[in-house]
Structure 1
């Protein structure tokens, strides 16, 4: 039997902003053996009643459909959108990247940061912390290049995404 190819999907989940909601959603993924590649959560309403959870996951199309259907049935979930299926959307990730080095390594780190539009947010005589944002691929590439010049540590936000166009999701 042939297996359907795995696809990466970005899901936007609008939920009640209350304690335990994230645990229920993550529990659903865990109980069924679904993987979460990236997860971000933020309050998105002026009255602090609603949050948006952005999850990047992967699987064959029937599994993605099953994930969406199961998420949709959870009580605190208002809406589940598969941004990948909806069409054009904007995805960004931010990372803080600590790089140590002196001399030529320091100069090269600054040169690479400039090319990637990463900005130094902390500087000492022997290290930098750069802030870089963009697509996951851009962040991955920046980190890979910084390994060559003295990467020390990385902290990443995970993907945030929103549909394009004038309409609200």
Structure 2
């Protein structure tokens, strides 16, 4: 297990790349080589022709290590742009989770009540269970999952963080 140095801070990176085989492995390899964990990773095509993708990476590292990682990422041929949203300015982060909860009676009623408070949406229901869709910050989803443990949490699937800079300009 890698122990993060005291100066490690959480960073959210937006990496714009050519959508080609192997690029994700090359990018992940840069983090692995330095002994830093990728805490969240999402990838999506962002152009109509499916030729360009956006990779959102959340990791923790010192400012100096992040500068080195960003410089190395920018040198990769299929990488068009790398933006550290954490230092770039204000940005919005969201995550989606599907949370399955089983229970009857009071547990079922409490699960529905808590989902309403957290703006969770029922996307599947059976006599004995619900699947809720919850979106928001990582902290909000963590808290929702923690509360659902008390009423019958069965399993959780999470997307990972997506992020975008605030304002009229692209990152």
Fold shared, TM-score > 0.5 on shorter chain: yes
The equivalent residue for 1:97 is 99
- What is the number of residues matched between the two proteins? 167
**Runs of 4+ in structure 1 over 6 Å off:** none
The equivalent residue for 1:129 is 131
The equivalent residue for 1:44 is 46
Q: Cα offset for 1:126?
A: 0.6
Q: Which runs of 5+ in 1 are unaligned?
A: none
The equivalent residue for 2:67 is 65
Q: Which runs of 5+ in 2 are unaligned?
A: none
The equivalent residue for 1:77 is 79
Match of 2:55 among 43, 48, 53: 53
RMSD: 0.9
**Aligned with 1:128: secondary structure?**
strand
C-alpha contact 1:72 1:79 (8 A) present in aligned 2: yes
Q: Cα offset for 1:31?
A: 2.0
Q: Cα offset for 1:30?
A: 1.4
